[in-house]
Structure 1
C-alpha cells in the first residue's frame, strides 16, 4: 500500500474572509478559504486549492499584473510570497502589524501595504532569482491619524491614494516631488471605505461607509514655476503624475446611495468603463455609472452582508463574497445571470461518502443540509435541505443513483440522484434521533441506529415500510455497517459491545463482541471477512467475522492525541481516540481520524502506523499545535484568549456578535464565546484507491496519490534514459519505447509514447506488453480518457487492453482493484458527457432522423417508377 498521498483539493469551503480578486485575464477568481487560497477557473469550471498554508486565517491577498507573484497575508501580518503559476512558496515575510489591504502597482514593480496608520511600499521581488531578502522597502508614508483601510494606485503607478478610519483620504506620490505635499480629502462623516482614480486621472471618487460618494476634480493647478530644476523634474516624471500631484483638488459633487437601514461594506471600481460596484450590509449590491452617478442595477444576492467585491478586467463579471454564510458568487450583470454560485456548509461537516464511481462525494452538516460535490471540479452541484436538524450520516447505494441521509430530526431520507429529489422518508414508530446509518449492498434495505431509544430500525427502500426493529443495545447506537456480502449488519454502541445481526436469516442469531470501552466506529474489510472497531480508550480492534474472535489490536492513543488548546496548562495525559475509520480499497490498511489534527494510516497485518497526515496548520484553531508558545503566556493567561471584540469600530457588527454591553442587566447567561477546534469528523477512501477524503473543521480535504517521477531502480539500466525513449519513437519502435517509458515511470513520457502509437498498431503493441506493466497501462488509459480529446483513439486502447489482458485482470481483481475502478470512473464520466450532449441536441437529432425518413419515403416511389419504366 502506497502512503505518498498529497493534498489535492479543498471542497466544502469557498470563502471565509479577506478580499476576493480576479486574475488579470479575468477568467479565474482567487478566494481565501481559512489559511489557504483557492482558485476558481470560471471558463473550464474547475477549482483548485494551493497546498501552502499561512499561519492563521488570511486577511488580504494580492496578485501581480503578470500573474507570476502572489502575496497572501494573515491576520498577524505574516506574509507568504508565492510563485502563482507553480504554487511554490518562495519567501516568508513578517510585516509585524496587521495588514488591511495590499496591492501591486499597475506596472508590477511595487507593492503597497497598510501598516496601521502608515503605508509601506516595497519593491516587488523577482520570482526567477533566489534572493536572501527579497522584500526591499522603498518608503514609508505617514499622515493618517487612524488605521488605513484601503490603497488605490494611479494608472501610471506614480501616485496612490489611501483611505482611513479617520474619515479622510490622502494622496501620495511614489517618489518625492519638489513642492509637493500630500493632499488630504476631507469632508466625509464616516469611515472612507475606498477611493478611486478615473481613467484619465482627472477625477477622484471617494466612498464612505454611510453611503456617500464624493467626486473630486481640479480647482486649479499649483505646479511650481518652470525653472531648470523643475524642467528636469517634469522630464523625469510622467505628465499624469504631475497633473495628479500638482492639482488642487476640491469637491465637485456629492452623491448618496439612499439605502435606508444599511451601510456600505465594500466597493470596487472598473476604471475603463467608469463602473462603481458597491456592496451593502444587507446583502444588496448596486452598480452606478460614474461620473453621472446613474444607477444601472440593484439586486439582493445574500441574506448577510457582502464582505468583498471584485470586478474582472473586461467589467463583465462581478465576484462577491459573504463571510457569514460562506458564499462565493460571480454575477454577469449585463445578462443578469450567475456564472458561479457556491456555498459551503454553514457549520461543521458531520459525514462524507464517496459515490461508487469515485467522482462525486456527499457531505452532511450541522446545518441540516446534504451537499453533493464533484471531486474533479471541486464544485457543489446539488443541495438537499429537507432535514430540519443536523445530518449525522450520509451513504450512497451501491449503484450510486440513490443517496441516503440520517438526521437528528428522526428521519432517514432517500434522494434520487437522477431527478435530484427526495422520494422516500423513513421514520420510526417512536420518535428517535438517528446517529448512524447503513445501506444494504443490494440497495433494497436501509438501517439506522438511534441514540435515545437504543434501537436499530430496518426499512425496505422499495415500499418505505419498516421491516424490523432490532433491540439489544443498552446505550446509543453510534455506528452501523453492512457486510459487503450483504448478510450481516454490524452495530457498535456506547454499551461497549459490537453486535453482528443476521437480518435476512431465519435464525435471528446475534453475536455480541465485548470490548473494554465505548465503541465509536466500525468498518468491514472490502471482502467482508474482517471487522475493524475503534473504541473510546484509543484501541483499534480487529475481529475475524467467520470465526467470531479477535485477531489483533493496535494502540492508537498517542497517534490520536488532540493538540494543545490555548487555555490548557498541561498536555492531555490519556491521549485520544479515533472517531471514524475506513478500509483502503485493497483492504490492507485502515485510515482513521478524530479529535486530532492528524489523520493516521495503519497497516493491519503489521499492526503499525504507516503515516500521519496533518489536516491543518492554522493557529486560529484550537488543537493544531503539539506544544504551546510560552512567550504568549502572561500572568493573565494566553494573549490570544483576550477578547478584542470591543476594538471593532463597526457598531452593527459588535451588536450582532454581542447583544449586551458590559454592565447591562439583561444578558444571556448561557451564551459562551468558544474557539473552533481542529478535528476530523469522518474519513472515507475513494473506490479507486487513489484518493481519500476527510471532513474537517477547515472543510472537505481531498488527498490523492502524486507519483511524479518515482521509478523502480531494479528495472533501470544505463541505456534506459528519456533520450533512448525518444530515439525509439523516432525509429517507430512502439513496444520497446512503451516498455522503456514504463521502466522510467515518468508520467509525461509515458503519455507521449501512448499518444504516438498509431491506431492500427495498438492491438499488436498490446499483445507484447508484459503483465507487470498492465496495471500501469490501464491507469495511463484511464488518465487519457479523462483529459484527452482523442476519444475514439483512447477507446481503441480500452478495447485492446480488456480483450488482451482481461483474464489476467480478472484473476487479480483484488490486486488491481484501484486501477480498474479508475478506468470505470473515467468511462462513467465519458458516458455522462455523451448522454448530456445527446440530451442537449435531442431536437436536432430527431429532426435529422425525420429528414432521413422523409428522403427514404420520397426515394421509394421514385425507385418503383424507374422499375416500372424498365419493365
Structure 2
C-alpha cells in the first residue's frame, strides 16, 4: 500500500477572517481559511487550497497586479512571500507588528503596509529566492490612531490611508517638491475606506456611521477643479496654493454600522457592507442607490469587487460564509458556507465522489470530493448530527442526531423522504446501514439500546439491548450477516440481526471502547480503547489477534491552560475514530490531538503520522509553552489586547489616559485542535479527516501545475504548421496541445477540413480530450464557425462516450461550459431568426403598398404579379373580399 498521502484540499471551511482578493482576470477569488489560503475558481467551479501554511490565522492578503506574487500576513505580522503561479514560498518576513492593511501599487513596484499608526513603503521583491528581498523605501507617520484602510492612485504616485482618528491622509511614494502629506477631516466616526476617482479629480471617503464624502481639489480662490498630481505653478515658479474641500456629504440612511467597503474606479461603484448583514451598491459621485440586499444574519466583514465590476464578493466571519453576487442579473455566482460549529462526522459515497459531513450546528452537508464545493445542505435536524452513512448505491444518505431522529435523504430529488424515531425520546450517537440498504440501526447514549428499522417501511423492527453504557460505535459486517457495537461498558458485542436465537458474542476489553471498524473482507474487527490501544479480533473465532500501543503516537501538544506538560497529560491520548484502508492492510486513527496515525496491520508499525494543522492560533498545537507569555491576568494569547477581533470593538475599555492594552478581563476563545472522525475513500486514493480547521483531504494524486504537456524539443510552432500543411492534422493538433499556445491551437484546429472532422475525432487521444473540449467551449462564443464546432463536439462525444461517462465528475465543468455556450448560441440565432422574420413581414407589407400604388397608376399590374416570387404560405390581402377583381374595384 502507498503511504505518501499529501494534503490535497480543505473543504468545509470557506472563510474565517481577513480580506478577500480577486485575481487580475476576475475569474477566481482568494479566501483566507485559518492559516491557509483557498482559491475558488468561479468559472470552472473548482476549489484549491494552496499548499503553504502561515504560523497563525491569516489577517491580510495582497496579490500583485500581474498575479505572480502573493503576500499572506498573519495576526502577529509574520509574512510569507509566495510565487502564486507555482504555489511555492519564496521568503519569510516579520513586520513585528499587527498589519492593519497591505496593498500593492498598480504598477507592481511597491507595496504599502499599515502598521498601527504608521505606514511603510516597501519595494516589491522579485521572483527568485534572495537573501533580503524586502527593501524598505520610506516610513511615514501622522495618524493618531490605528490605520484601517489603504488605497492607491492609478498612476502609483500617491496613496490614501484611512484611520480610526476620523481622518484620511494623502501620501506620495517619492518626495515631491512643495508637496506635503494632506489631511482630510470632517467625519464624525472612524473612516472605513477612501479611494481616488478614476479621473483623479475627486476622493471618496466612507466612515462607519454611514457618511460618504466627495472631496474635490482646486487652487485656492479658483472654482475650477483640477486633476490631482498636476500641481499648477505661478509665473514665479512657485506652486499655486491648493485646497481640498468637501463638495457633497451623503448618508446611507441605515441604522447599522458600516463594517466593510470597496470601490471600483472603472465602473464608479461603491459597495458597503453593514453589521446587519445588508449590503448596498451606490454609483459615485452622485451617490445614486442601485441595489441593496440582506444576504446574511451577521455582519459582513469584508467586501471585494472584481476588476470588471460585475461580481461582488462578501465574507462573514461569524457564519463562515462566502458569497459572490452578480449585481446586474441579481444572481449568486457562489454561495458557500461551512459548519457554524465543529464538524463531527464524515462518510464517503461508494464511488468516492462525494463526502457527507455532519456538524454540531444540526446540518448535514454533501461535498464534491473533486471540486471541493458543497452542493446541498440539509437542515431538518434540530440538534447536533452525530453520524452519517451512505447506502450502497450512493443515492441515499442517512444521518443520526441528538434530537432523537434518524433521517434518510434522497440525493436525486434532494429531500428528506424518511424519518426513523424511537418509542421514547433518546439521543442517537452512532449509525449503521447494512450493505443492501434495507436495515438501519442506530445506538443511543442514554438508554444504551440499539434500534433497528426497515428502510422500506420506516417501521421499528427490533430493539437490541444488553449494553450497560452509552453506545460509542456501530458497524455492519461487509457481508451484512452481523452487526458489531461498541460501548463504554468495555465490551464489543456482535449481533446476528436476522437470527436472534444465536448467542451474542461479547468481546471484553480492559477499558472503555471508543470506536470500532470492520476490515473490508469482514474477517477482522478492530476497536480502540480509552487507554490508547487498538485491539484486533478474529470475527469467526471471537479471539484477539493482536494490539497496537498508540498512546504515545496520538499524544498531542500542550494546551494554554494545562498545568501539566504534554508528556504527562493523560487527555487526548486515545483514538476516537478508526478506519481500515481500502485493501485492509493499514489502519487509520484520529483523536483529540493534532495527529492522525497510519499503522500497518500485520507488523503494527507506525507508517506515517500526519499533523493536521500547524496553526498556532489553535490550542494544543505547540509541544512546549513559553513562560514569558504568561501574565498576571492569564495567558497572553487569551487576552483581547486591542479589541480588533472582538464584537465589542467599538466599546474597548480605554477610559484612562495612556491605556492602550484594553480591559484584561476580556477573553478570546482559542479553539482546540482535534480530529473527530477519519475515513478512507473506497477507492483507496485519498482519506479525509473532520478537524477543527474543516474537512481535510489527503490524496495520492499529485496535482502539479504546468503549462506545457509532454513537451519535446521537436515540438515548435514551425513544425506544427508544417504538419498541418502536409495534411497530418491529428499529429499537428496533438503537438499544438503539447505546446499549449492558444494561437497555434486555434490555427491548427481551424485548418482541419470539415469533412475530415468525423474521422479525426475517432482517433483523437483521450488524454487530450478534456483540453480540446475546453478549448472549443472557450472559442465558441467568439467564433463564427458554429456548424464546424458542433461537428467537433458531436464527433468527440459520440466516439468517446465511454471515457466521458467514466470521468463525468472531472469533465463536468467542461461539459457545463459547452452546454452554456451552445444554449447561448441557440438563443442568439433564435433572436436573429425572429428579427429576420419580422423584417420579412415588414418588407412584404411595404411591397404590398408599393404594388397597390403602381397598380393604381398603371392599371395593368395585379397584386399576384407583384408577389409571385414569395412563398405560397404568405397571405397577401388583395382587397377582393367582395368577389370582384382589383381592376374592377379600381375602375
TM-score with structure 1 length normalisation?
0.80
The 3 A distance-change label for structure 1 pair 192 and 781 is closer
Q: Please say if residues 112 and 119 of structure 1, whose CA atoms lie closer than 8 Å, have aligned partners that are also in contact.
A: yes
Q: Which residue of 2 aligns with 1:849?
A: none
Superposed, 1:421-440 pairs within 5 Å as 421-440=415-434
Q: Which residue of 1 aligns with 2:114?
A: 114
Q: Which residue of 2 aligns with 1:500?
A: 494
Superposed, 1:284-303 pairs within 5 Å as 284-303=278-297
Q: Which residue of 2 aligns with 1:83?
A: 83
TM-superposed CA distance for 1:547, in Å, is 1.4
How many pairs are equivalent? 745
TM-superposed CA distance for 1:400, in Å, is 0.4
Mapped to 2, the partners of 1:570 and 1:500 lie a distance apart of 40
Q: Which residue of 2 aligns with 1:857?
A: none
The 3 A distance-change label for structure 1 pair 761 and 333 is closer
Q: Please say if residues 357 and 828 of structure 1, whose CA atoms lie closer than 8 Å, have aligned partners that are also in contact.
A: no
Deviations 1:595-624 (A, max 9, x none): 111111110011010001111111110011
Deviations 1:747-775 (A, max 9, x none): x99xxxxxxxx9999999x9xxxxxxxxx
Mapped to 1, the partners of 2:85 and 2:618 lie a distance apart of 29
Mapped to 2, the partners of 1:798 and 1:649 lie a distance apart of 55
- Aligned to 1:97, what secondary structure does the other structure show? coil
Mapped to 2, the partners of 1:582 and 1:342 lie a distance apart of 29
Q: Which residue of 1 aligns with 2:599?
A: 602
Q: Please say if residues 217 and 228 of structure 2, whose CA atoms lie closer than 8 Å, have aligned partners that are also in contact.
A: no
Mapped to 2, the partners of 1:523 and 1:394 lie a distance apart of 15
Deviations 1:64-93 (A, max 9, x none): 000000001011011110011111111111
TM-superposed CA distance for 1:637, in Å, is 4.5
> Is residue 276 of structure 1 aligned with residue 270 of structure 2?
yes
Superposed, 1:450-599 pairs within 5 Å as 450-572=444-566, 573=568, 574=570, 576-599=573-596
Superposed, 1:356-755 pairs within 5 Å as 356-572=350-566, 573=568, 574=570, 576-634=573-631, 637-644=634-641, 651=648, 674-706=669-701
Superposed, 1:100-249 pairs within 5 Å as 100-127=100-127, 129-220=128-219, 240=230, 247-249=242-244
The 3 A distance-change label for structure 1 pair 5 and 649 is closer
Mapped to 2, the partners of 1:725 and 1:688 lie a distance apart of 38
TM-superposed CA distance for 1:723, in Å, is 7.4
The 3 A distance-change label for structure 1 pair 322 and 564 is same
TM-superposed CA distance for 1:507, in Å, is 2.4
The 3 A distance-change label for structure 1 pair 606 and 792 is farther
Q: Which residue of 2 aligns with 1:854?
A: none
Deviations 1:474-516 (A, max 9, x none): 0000100001100110100000000000101252421010001
> Is residue 352 of structure 1 aligned with residue 349 of structure 2?
no
The 3 A distance-change label for structure 1 pair 647 and 612 is closer
Q: Which moved more, 1:237-246 or 1:153-162?
A: 237-246
TM-superposed CA distance for 1:633, in Å, is 3.6
Mapped to 2, the partners of 1:3 and 1:834 lie a distance apart of 34
The 3 A distance-change label for structure 1 pair 426 and 208 is same
Q: Which moved more, 1:505-514 or 1:71-80?
A: 505-514
Q: Please say if residues 781 and 797 of structure 1, whose CA atoms lie closer than 8 Å, have aligned partners that are also in contact.
A: no
Mapped to 1, the partners of 2:358 and 2:397 lie a distance apart of 11
> Is residue 46 of structure 1 aligned with residue 31 of structure 2?
no
- Aligned to 1:368, what secondary structure does the other structure show? coil
Q: CA RMSD in A?
A: 3.6
Mapped to 2, the partners of 1:174 and 1:824 lie a distance apart of 57
- Aligned to 1:558, what secondary structure does the other structure show? helix
Mapped to 2, the partners of 1:19 and 1:140 lie a distance apart of 24
TM-superposed CA distance for 1:696, in Å, is 0.5
Deviations 1:285-341 (A, max 9, x none): 111111111111111111111100011111111001111111111111111111111
Q: Please say if residues 759 and 796 of structure 1, whose CA atoms lie closer than 8 Å, have aligned partners that are also in contact.
A: no
Superposed, 1:329-340 pairs within 5 Å as 329-340=323-334
TM-superposed CA distance for 1:676, in Å, is 0.7
- Aligned to 2:100, what secondary structure does the other structure show? coil
TM-superposed CA distance for 1:21, in Å, is 1.3
Deviations 1:195-228 (A, max 9, x none): 11000111011100111111111241699xxxxx
TM-superposed CA distance for 1:375, in Å, is 1.3
Mapped to 2, the partners of 1:332 and 1:399 lie a distance apart of 37
Mapped to 1, the partners of 2:797 and 2:523 lie a distance apart of 37
Q: Which residue of 2 aligns with 1:26?
A: 26
Q: Which residue of 1 aligns with 2:781?
A: none
The 3 A distance-change label for structure 1 pair 785 and 537 is farther
Deviations 1:115-167 (A, max 9, x none): 1100001000001x221001000001111111111111111000011011111
Mapped to 2, the partners of 1:351 and 1:73 lie a distance apart of 32
Q: Which residue of 1 aligns with 2:730?
A: none
Q: Which residue of 2 aligns with 1:326?
A: 320
The 3 A distance-change label for structure 1 pair 577 and 787 is farther
Deviations 1:403-427 (A, max 9, x none): 0000000000000010000000000
Mapped to 1, the partners of 2:768 and 2:801 lie a distance apart of 7
The 3 A distance-change label for structure 1 pair 525 and 826 is farther
1:255 aligned residue (239, 250, 262): 250
Q: Please say if residues 762 and 795 of structure 2, whose CA atoms lie closer than 8 Å, have aligned partners that are also in contact.
A: no
The 3 A distance-change label for structure 1 pair 196 and 782 is closer
Mapped to 2, the partners of 1:38 and 1:150 lie a distance apart of 23
What are structure 2's unaligned runs of at least 5 residues? 234-238, 654-664, 705-709, 724-737, 740-756, 777-792, 827-891
The 3 A distance-change label for structure 1 pair 269 and 793 is closer
The 3 A distance-change label for structure 1 pair 548 and 798 is farther
The 3 A distance-change label for structure 1 pair 708 and 9 is closer
The 3 A distance-change label for structure 1 pair 356 and 334 is same
The 3 A distance-change label for structure 1 pair 420 and 245 is farther
Mapped to 2, the partners of 1:272 and 1:837 lie a distance apart of 30
Mapped to 2, the partners of 1:279 and 1:125 lie a distance apart of 33
Q: Which residue of 2 aligns with 1:826?
A: 807
Superposed, 1:58-97 pairs within 5 Å as 58-97=58-97
Mapped to 2, the partners of 1:654 and 1:133 lie a distance apart of 41
Q: Please say if residues 433 and 441 of structure 2, whose CA atoms lie closer than 8 Å, have aligned partners that are also in contact.
A: yes
The 3 A distance-change label for structure 1 pair 706 and 416 is closer
TM-superposed CA distance for 1:253, in Å, is 1.2
- Aligned to 1:14, what secondary structure does the other structure show? coil
TM-superposed CA distance for 1:571, in Å, is 1.8
Mapped to 1, the partners of 2:75 and 2:240 lie a distance apart of 33
TM-score with structure 2 length normalisation?
0.78
The 3 A distance-change label for structure 1 pair 824 and 412 is farther
> Radius of gyration: which is bigger?
2
Mapped to 2, the partners of 1:78 and 1:836 lie a distance apart of 41
Q: Please say if residues 685 and 701 of structure 2, whose CA atoms lie closer than 8 Å, have aligned partners that are also in contact.
A: no
Mapped to 1, the partners of 2:279 and 2:488 lie a distance apart of 51
